[in-house]
Structure 1
Amino acid sequence: MELTRKNAYTLLTEYTKNDSLLKHALSVEQAMKAYAAKYGADAERWGIAGLLHDFDYEMYPSLEDHPFKGVEILKEKGYPQDIIDAVAGHAEHTGVKRETMMAKTLFAVDELCGFLLACAYVRPDKSIANVQVKSVKKKLKDKSFARAVNRDDIEQGIAEMELDKDEHIKFVIDALAEIGEQLGV
């Protein structure tokens, strides 16, 4: 198996048909690529981890199956261990430790990307580029807003990467703004 974005996208769309889940995958891919560039890592490789982190979720949404089924599929297809470990570690219930910067970054951007898209959707202009850090932090305190987003995971991801919360939120907003049109925000 050749490790390419095209092959990863084909795998994603084989298992994922839901538009919201596809946009989430694209947003996490984008945030991962931006952080890879910041850290001098392989942006395509990190992007592939982001693109595929939830590829099995639509077919296997239970805690017993996700991301375990996806990890099995990635192993069968010959994906590299660092990508498999990042995908496995993005979900706390797997018990897989996040030991690489790729894995830590995937965990740190996953829930935040979903939250930021929700923040953009409720704006009058629906523009991710106009989402403000202050507004995001206020909405994070409102447990009824985007209630499916795990705020503890967002905080834990920031802590694991030893990031400034405001800078992390702003960095991910800016990354997503680069593909806002593709994301519909």
Structure 2
Amino acid sequence: MELNRESAYALLTEYTKSDSLLKHALSVEQAMRAYARRLGGDEEKWGIAGLIHDFDYEQFPTLEDHPYKGCEILREKGWTEDIIRAVMSHGEHTGVTRETPMEKALFAVDELCGFLLACAYVRPDRKISMVEVKSVKKKLKDKSFARAVNREDIAKGIEELGVEADEHIRFVIDALSEISDELGL
């Protein structure tokens, strides 16, 4: 199995039809590519891990199935073990510890990307580039805003990645701003 973005995107779109989940996948891919550049990782591999981390979620949304079913599919298709491990480690419930910088980055950007998209959607201009760090932090305290986003995972991801919260939020906003047209923001 050749590991490239084209095959990863084909897998994603084979299993995922929801526009919001596709945008989430694109946003996580973009944040992962940015962190790969920053941390000296393989940009293609990190981006692919971000792109496919939730590919199975639409069909297997329960904690009992996601990301286990997806990882079974990845193994059957001959995906590399480091990608599979990263996908497994992005879910706290799997018990797979995050050891590598790629695994830590994936966990750190996953929930935050979803939250940042929600922050942009409620702006009158719907521009991700105009989302401010202080506004994000304020909204993080409002449990009724984007209530499905796990704030504990965001905090734990920041801690595991070893970055400052403000710096991490700004970094991901800037990364997502680079693909704002694809995200509709």
2:30 matched to 1:30?
yes
After TM superposition, the score normalised by the length of structure 1 is 0.99
Deviations 1:96-148 (A, max 9, x none): 01111100000000000000000000000000000000000000000000000
Amino acid at match of 1:180: S
Equivalent residues, number: 185
Cα displacement (A) at 1:9: 0.2
Which residues of 2 match residues 150-169 of structure 1 at below 5 A? 150-169=150-169
CA distance in 2, matches of 1:51, 1:117: 16
The match for 1:59 is 59
The match for 1:47 is 47
The match for 2:99 is 99
CA distance in 2, matches of 1:37, 1:79: 23
CA distance in 1, matches of 2:154, 2:144: 16
Cα displacement (A) at 1:177: 0.2
Unaligned runs of 5+ in 1: none
Structure 1, 106-115 or 71-80: larger mean CA deviation: 71-80
CA distance in 2, matches of 1:181, 1:79: 30
The match for 1:9 is 9
Amino acid at match of 2:68: F
The match for 2:79 is 79
Unaligned runs of 5+ in 2: none
Cα displacement (A) at 1:76: 0.8
Cα displacement (A) at 1:41: 1.1
CA distance in 1, matches of 2:19, 2:141: 27
Q: CA RMSD in A?
A: 0.4
Amino acid at match of 1:15: Y
After TM superposition, the score normalised by the length of structure 2 is 0.99
CA distance in 1, matches of 2:7, 2:32: 17
The match for 2:90 is 90
Amino acid at match of 1:173: I
What percentage of residue pairs aligned between the two structures are identical? 73
Cα displacement (A) at 1:40: 1.4
